[in-house]
Chain A
């Protein structure tokens, strides 16, 4: 993005709004320059045959009581209206700049007084300030320019203050200060040039507002006085005869609105150009299907069956598919870990399974069933009760996952009010009971508190408690411990394990940390680039990871026995972007044992041992060296 003023102004012109408003602005300025030259005579000639008449072919907007043509008077008035607005803006910007930058030059107490005065002034609507100043400066054109200008000043002072403060904190100003550059020189040479562009943009917008204020003032009779006339004055005259000729009031009004818009929109267009939205693309109606992975194992009593799950989002040049054919089954009371780097699709899998992907995202699957009910195609209304009580979610960031404006107890209670038909008080009592169940001390009092009064660990417990308001058969926990410190993390994992043991609740634990997962779960799904690349038990004879990615992940885990002299192990390279996947195995780029086949043909998940599936052309079944032979010991579990 071009940072030079010229760059952003040019870019602004290319947007539809920017182009339109700039054209309007050019027209207004052209009228201001040419209007009085071209039509001065017409605006002043008295048509004695048409005194105070309505619109006609001769006089498009009618005439005033002296028979002067209103249309031409409006055109001619452009110059005075625009010039006065610009003068007032100039005055406002200059005095605002002085007021805003003075505090950085003046002795501290005086500077603070100026800042305080500016802060008081900006709290008042500008029209009140205009009226206040016009009392002091008196009725008439000159007084009105001073009044409108000074009313603009406080907001510019505030703007200059905030911008100067942010610039003054930057390195180059600090460097200049260290070099002994004086305060005033610092201001003129280093600070002002850097706030120039936003000032110009805001001045353009302010010119629009000044134009409106000015016409308001003239309309009240306080601004421009006859025989001079600007749009506000014409409006004032026109309103008196509105029964005879409404056009006499509407024409100058329209001129004010158009000219105001021209300034305003041009400024806004330039201001908005940095954050301008890229044009929406229209991808195909549905994402193309991807290669079919092995079908999920069938279990009659399964809590969750996921078969060939895909999640797609419309992207710039078509569909991006961050989850590509994921299949797994969760049985009652089972704890499954889903592991992968960020961007592997593990969180999206969790959201898709719980029906929380919103349009424009698209979820498809051959089968997606929770507690025997299909989650695809069944209307939300039918599933609400089941999912609300039987499927619990625990999200990553406990600081942001609770509504800051509602008490914790009420946030828990609404689950039971909604799905179990409990009364307000009964639901609250249950919420207190659940908070107690997740070991929150003084649960009754805590339930009346707001989220910000809870610590992070407590909030995450409360989140689990919220899941326990119903009778969950499955808890999906997405990085539940990532934001917490290690001690709290352990407590929380124990809480999940206890819940599971007591209620036979299945758990899907999503994490980037294979050590955390192996402590809690008996089965681990390793995800890479939107696919499951390995599905293995965390203990027992089949617990030796065979996929090179899983083995690399394990090699990067640290424990107290890690050799501190050796460099930290890392997996070289980065996972591919979901919209730029290679033809073959997505891991081939980073894989030490990759061959030509890996780069052309994508491996599918295949059984290598009982309860062990791997998607790799070259699985490695040699046990890992040292004590890290099986996953269960990798994280130094209890």
Chain B
């Protein structure tokens, strides 16, 4: 890139190009996702309706259900109908209850978000300060014992899957101490254990990533420059080291954060939390395919949105990335 174009594109230019490109990528991914969700039902071996209704169901009922789902149309017709329906907010109809899938999604999604969003906040609010703190404490090979304790603790915590953390938390805090309800959604108290179970592992992994990235940033020349300016240590770490460590952390941590979305499925099942996760497990067992399809789509969109947010954050934090894109 020449100096002139860099200057000309200084104001909204790069951001606009970046926004358009990124949104276009989102749209393509969304289309792939919708297509895969559509194909999922087609890929089920045998007749999904027969599988759902059981071998003893009368042929007329199966036929009626097939017609209701549009399965008697040619596949391209089904695909177009599916896409058209989605554009109108029609996610299909539950084979079990006959309710519109979109109603159930609208009913269950808030409960899942009520778990996921606080868990994200906790992970970020815990992992970044913790990682930074331990990076500063153990920089340049200082305090080897602290480093060893930190590393082994976080590795251990990260190795326990969230649903086992959930079980352990329930066993201790709910059963043993009786502080919290064992299951269900009932006020703020019922939120605490599921959020803790969701956040513990990712917070451990992320704080390790933050520490390692901060350590590598602290070795950079510009940190020496900041110290040569005699800035207080607080500013050297927060203003100069942290933003640079975060760009690398986000790149690595993006998948971790979308993985938490999957974590809600298991945690919701431990706590009988009335969210999407409990519904998808039941729907898979009951072979309620339109329901499963709708929920898979919602989770998929969640992951795509998460990746979008991570990319935008990266662009904001690292001025070089926007320029590089265009």
Contact = CB atoms under 8 A, between A and B. Distances in A.
Interface of A: 120, 123-128, 131-132, 134-136, 138-139, 212, 215-216, 219-222, 235, 238-239, 242-243, 246, 249-250, 253, 256-257, 260-261, 264-265, 280, 354, 356, 358-360, 383-385, 387-388, 393, 395, 397, 400-406, 414-415, 418-419, 445, 448-450, 452-453, 455, 463, 466
Chain B interface SS verdict (over half) = helix
Contacts of A250: 167-168, 171
Interface of B: 3, 6-7, 10, 29, 32, 36, 40, 43-45, 51, 139-142, 144, 155-156, 159-161, 163-164, 167-168, 170-171, 175-176, 182, 220-222, 224-232, 235, 239-240, 243-244, 247, 255, 258-259, 261-263, 265-266, 269-270, 280-281, 284-285, 289, 292, 296, 299-300, 303, 307, 317-320, 323
A131 B280 contact: yes
A139 B228 contact: no
A257 B159 contact: yes
Nearest to B319: A450
A388 B227 CA distance: 9
A185 B43 CA distance: 34
Given A235-B167, A453-B6, A128 B284 contact: no
Which are the 10 A-B pairs with shortest beta-carbon distances?
Answer: A388-B230, A127-B262, A246-B171, A125-B262, A125-B259, A400-B221, A393-B228, A253-B164, A403-B222, A220-B281
Given A134-B284, A242-B170, A257-B159, A127 B265 contact: yes
B240 A395 contact: no
A256 B161 contact: yes
Nearest to B240: A403
A220 B45 CA distance: 22
Contact of B235 (A242, A414, A463): A414
A246 B285 contact: no
Nearest to A268: B155
Given A124-B300, A136-B44, A404 B319 contact: yes
Given A235-B167, A404-B319, A450-B320, A128 B176 contact: no
28 contacts: A124-B303, A125-B262, A127-B259, A128-B262, A128-B303, A131-B262, A132-B40, A135-B44, A138-B51, A242-B170, A242-B171, A246-B176, A250-B167, A253-B168, A256-B161, A261-B156, A261-B159, A265-B155, A359-B142, A385-B230, A395-B225, A402-B225, A403-B222, A403-B225, A405-B244, A406-B240, A419-B230, A452-B320
A126 B182 contact: no
Chain A interface SS verdict (over half) = helix
B247 A405 contact: yes
Nearest to A247: B171
Given A125-B303, A260-B159, 8 more contacts: A131-B284, A131-B296, A135-B44, A138-B45, A243-B175, A404-B319, A414-B231, A452-B320
A426 to B, nearest CB: 17
A277 to B, nearest CB: 9
Nearest to A243: B175
Nearest to B151: A17
A466 B284 contact: no
B175 A360 contact: no
B285 A221 contact: yes
A485 B176 CA distance: 72
Nearest to A220: B281
A83 B141 CA distance: 42
Nearest to B244: A405
Nearest to B32: A120
A422 to B, nearest CB: 14
B164 A360 contact: no
B158 to A, nearest CB: 9
Contacts of B300: 124, 128
A591 B99 CA distance: 94
Nearest to B160: A257
A328 to B, nearest CB: 21
Contact of A216 (B159, B163, B176, B247): B163
A256 B261 contact: no
B164 A256 contact: yes
Contact of B229 (A222, A238, A243, A415): A415
A221 B284 CA distance: 10
Nearest to B174: A242
Contacts of A463: 225
Contacts of B3: 453, 455
A136 B32 CA distance: 18
A452 B323 CA distance: 10
Given A393-B225, A403-B244, A126 B262 contact: yes
A450 B222 CA distance: 13
Given A360-B142, A414-B229, A395 B281 contact: no
A125 B270 contact: no
B182 A452 contact: no
B289 A135 contact: yes
Nearest to A469: B229
A637 B32 CA distance: 67
A123 B51 CA distance: 31
A449 B167 CA distance: 52
B244 A404 contact: yes
A388 B228 CA distance: 7
Contacts of A397: 221
A334 B284 CA distance: 81
B266 A219 contact: yes
A356 B228 contact: yes
Max chain A Cβ within 10 angstroms of own Cβ: one of B29, B51, B226, B228: B228
B312 to A, nearest CB: 15
Given A257-B159, A384-B232, A387-B230, A401 B258 contact: no
B223 to A, nearest CB: 8
A249 B171 contact: yes
Contacts of B159: 257, 260-261, 264
A315 B51 CA distance: 70
A356 B244 contact: no
Contacts of B228: 354, 356, 393, 395
A383 B263 CA distance: 51
A400 B220 contact: yes
Given A120-B32, A453-B6, A219 B163 contact: yes
B226 A403 contact: yes
B26 to A, nearest CB: 12
A263 B281 CA distance: 28
Nearest to A264: B159
Contact of B281 (A221, A235, A256, A401): A221
Contacts of A448: 10
A138 B284 CA distance: 8
A123 B171 contact: no
Given A404-B222, A405-B247, A453-B6, A125 B258 contact: yes
Contacts of B319: 404-405, 450, 452
Contacts of B231: 388, 414, 418
Max chain A Cβ within 10 angstroms of own Cβ: one of B229, B296, B303: B229
Nearest to B296: A132
A384 B284 CA distance: 65
Nearest to A260: B159
B225 A280 contact: no
Contacts of A455: 3
Nearest to A213: B161
A463 B228 CA distance: 11
Max chain A Cβ within 10 angstroms of own Cβ: one of B45, B222, B231, B303: B222
A33 B319 CA distance: 56
A102 to B, nearest CB: 19
A462 B43 CA distance: 62
